[in-house]
Amino acid sequence: MKKLNNKWVRAAIPALLIHCSIGTVYCWSTFKESIANKIGMSSFSIGWAFSIAIFFLGMSAAFAGKMVEKDIHKSSLISCILFTLGMLGTGFFIQFTSGIIALIGIYLCYGCIMGIGLGIGYLTPVKTLMLWFSKQKGLATGISIMGFGLAKAIATPIMEMIQNNLGIEPMFYILGIIYFLMMLLGHFLLKKPDGWVEPNDDNKSFKPFEMFKNKTFLGIWLMFFINIHCGLALITYEKQILGVAFLGTSILTLVISIVPSITASFNALGRIGYSTISDKMKERNTVYKIIFITSIIITSIALFTFSITNGPKQLIFGIIVILLLIIINMGYGGGFSTLPTLLSERFGMEKISKIHGLTLSAWAIAGLTGNNMSELILNFSNNNYNYILVATLILYIIAMIICFTMVNRKRNN
């Protein structure tokens, strides 16, 4: 049994099992239209289920930090049960109800119940990984959170196959059972290192609202929020943006079918790549500087070439748009994986689950604002995607200023 008591079996593998399951929340666009057609509701109204799921993910993580710190086995089991109930419940309401009843049921199951399971599950393995990989914290969090990003690339073709052959409801039932078994195995394997004892905590020393008075924490929260907000604003409209970029070209269909899988892979690559690189840096905040600077550069290039819409030059613009989506996806993923190690660098390891969970509240709010900002811009600009680039460019510049002014000073613990 001692051979099984190591950082891979007790931390990395269970983290991947949990995160590769819950990360399928990002497959939402794969079946959103099918759900809308099945229950007879608009795609826009159905789309709120995803926003609700992300909101509850962030907020449950923000409030579950105390429980996760105290008992990772309790939190991993709760996550497993709630995530599975959300999946199965969504399939139930799609199959047996329709209209507004089905919509409310999907909001409840996919949005609220599954969202809470997502938040608790996302937070649970992170501290354990950092304890086992004490000298490679970036690699550790990168492995786990890469699983969250890679889940979309792995699950999307499987979901499409099940949908095409069996239908939308069986997809939720089958995958719900599979993810339950994966997460349950992760629950049994997950274990903190021998000898680590959580310090006694009466919870009075950690005051969540007081944290927002800390300039460093507030800066990290704001730049994390902006990175997610801008990422969702572009990523959730990925296919539409590609459609505009390659409109009238002979490769439009091919691009729309292939590029999302490529960008999803780069999202996963950014999660493990940026965080692993941060282990070699004296200052982990440098990763965020790189993310924002590269995002500003590629968004500016795409913005200034947006007017090229015909002839051979359109293919050049299309290539720039693909690069834009690749770089944004990498930065989006890297921002997630570097966050826990940056927080531990600033505030120490003792209350990292609570602090990390509180920071994830930014994810909750960005889940409501990111794609809806793009929706509003398109409605008021007659579907001019140019304005989405303008808005995200301004926000990336603000994030870079915050990164250099509010989060730049390293704190010794």
The answer to whether residue 126 is domain-embedded is yes
- 212 and 83 in a single domain? The answer is no
Query: What percent of the chain stands above pLDDT 70?
Result: 95
Q: pTM above 0.85?
A: yes
**DSSP type of residue 12:** I
CB atoms within 10 A of CB 42: 9
Which pLDDT value is given to residue 203? Answer: 54
- 257 and 402 in a single domain? The answer is yes
Strand spans (E) along 125-276 = none
- 168 and 257 in a single domain? The answer is no
The answer to whether residue 199 is domain-embedded is no
Which is nearest to 325 in space by CA: 335, 313, 333, 336? Answer: 333
- 125 and 68 in a single domain? The answer is yes
- 220 and 140 in a single domain? The answer is no
Which is nearest to 90 in space by CA: 161, 172, 152? Answer: 172
How far is it, in rounded angstroms, from Cα 214 to Cα 64? 21
Instruction: Give me the sign of the Cα torsion angle 406, 408, 412, 413.
Output: positive
The percent helix, strand, coil of the chain (3-state, each to 5) is 80, 0, 20
- 38 and 187 in a single domain? The answer is yes
The answer to whether residue 19 is domain-embedded is yes
Residue span of the structural domain in which 215 resides: 208-413
Instruction: Give me the sign of the Cα torsion angle 268, 328, 336, 113.
Output: negative
- 184 and 306 in a single domain? The answer is no
Residues 6+ apart with CB under 8 A from 371: 47, 50, 51, 232, 233, 236, 237
- 13 and 152 in a single domain? The answer is yes
The answer to whether residue 201 is domain-embedded is no
Domain boundary among 156, 191, 226: 191
Domain boundary among 191, 219, 249: 191
Which pLDDT value is given to residue 412? Answer: 45
The answer to whether residue 196 is domain-embedded is no
- 168 and 271 in a single domain? The answer is no
Residues of the chain with pLDDT under 70: 1-2, 200-205, 307-313, 408-413
How far is it, in rounded angstroms, from Cα 351 to Cα 217? 14
Amino acid type, 161: M
The answer to whether residue 102 is domain-embedded is yes
Which pLDDT value is given to residue 228? Answer: 97
**Ramachandran area for residue 257 (φ above 0: left; ψ -120 to 50: alpha; else beta):** alpha
Which is nearest to 107 in space by CA: 41, 177, 173? Answer: 41
**DSSP type of residue 197:** -
CATH of the domain at 7: 1.20.1250.20
Domain boundary among 160, 191, 222: 191
Which is nearest to 236 in space by CA: 32, 5, 17? Answer: 32
**Ramachandran area for residue 194 (φ above 0: left; ψ -120 to 50: alpha; else beta):** beta
Look up tokens 């840096």; give the residue.
Answer: 281
Residues 6+ apart with CB under 8 A from 240: 385
| Separate counts of helices (H) and strands (E) for the chain | 18, 0
| CA distances from residue 348 to 92, 131, 209 in whole angstroms, order as listed | 44, 12, 18
Residues 6+ apart with CB under 8 A from 117: 22, 78, 79, 80, 81, 82, 83, 84, 85, 86
Q: Using only C-alpha atoms, what is the Rg of the chain?
A: 21
- 225 and 345 in a single domain? The answer is yes
Amino acid type, 21: S
How far is it, in rounded angstroms, from Cα 299 to Cα 397? 11
The answer to whether residue 12 is domain-embedded is yes
Domain count for the chain, please give it. 2
- 321 and 174 in a single domain? The answer is no
- 103 and 180 in a single domain? The answer is yes
The answer to whether residue 198 is domain-embedded is no
